[in-house]
A and B are shown apart, each in its own frame.
Chain A
């Protein structure tokens, strides 16, 4: 059964800001995932999730988002860097699940207007990933000076990013397959 079930790797767009250039990065990564046979994906836009803000955690779980996380074998999180951190809404969304993430792989894509490509937000997300039970890969994608990487309509201007995304996805797919095997066949005791 395991060999025939495709991997499912949704891409989470981690910002709801107007004019977000991270949308283009998330769409590009989703398209690149879609080029691979045996891997399904979809773009999860946190701006579209109807989560209340007067409570938090599993109490506000959205059933569609939770089902998507449950089905996932791995996640890609595309996050812009805001004052060295991630958006509050991204954390709010991620905190609405837990069981759905356990022992699944996650790769992080950082996006910034400046030269560092979201390296600081990625570092700040790592301990959050661990506490959610996700397993991070150690290849990131860093979109630096993102306004030069994409045209305003989303066209990719720097083709080198395809190679970087390919390296990132290869490790993510390996980790997703390995962890799926572990979740389903390697017992704790």
Chain B
């Protein structure tokens, strides 16, 4: 499972295994993120106020790999 935060959250995520465009199928607030991670994102985001980060989950239609990135 790759967690690739350097790609733009709004663009098609590229599969870290085979390079195909991935399918965005889920967003979830993920709790337990470190304070360091939280300060890098929008302080007005309501999910951040509750202590979580919105994470996007993507799967590859070519090879089945899964990956995530911060929204």
Residues of A at the B interface (CB closer than 8 Å) are 1-2, 5, 57-58, 66, 70, 97-100, 102-103, 133, 180, 182-189
Contacts and interface: CB of A to CB of B under 8 A. Distances in A.
Given A1-B63, A99-B55, A100-B66, A183 B23 contact: yes
6 contacts: A58-B32, A66-B1, A99-B57, A183-B25, A184-B23, A188-B26
A186 B32 contact: no
Contact of A183 (B1, B55, B59): B59
A57 B26 CA distance: 21
Interface residues on B, range: 20 to 34
- Interface core residue of B61, B64, B65, B67 (most chain A CB under 10 Å): B64
Nearest to B68: A99
Interface string B34-71: 00000000000000000000010101111111111000
A21 to B, nearest CB: 33
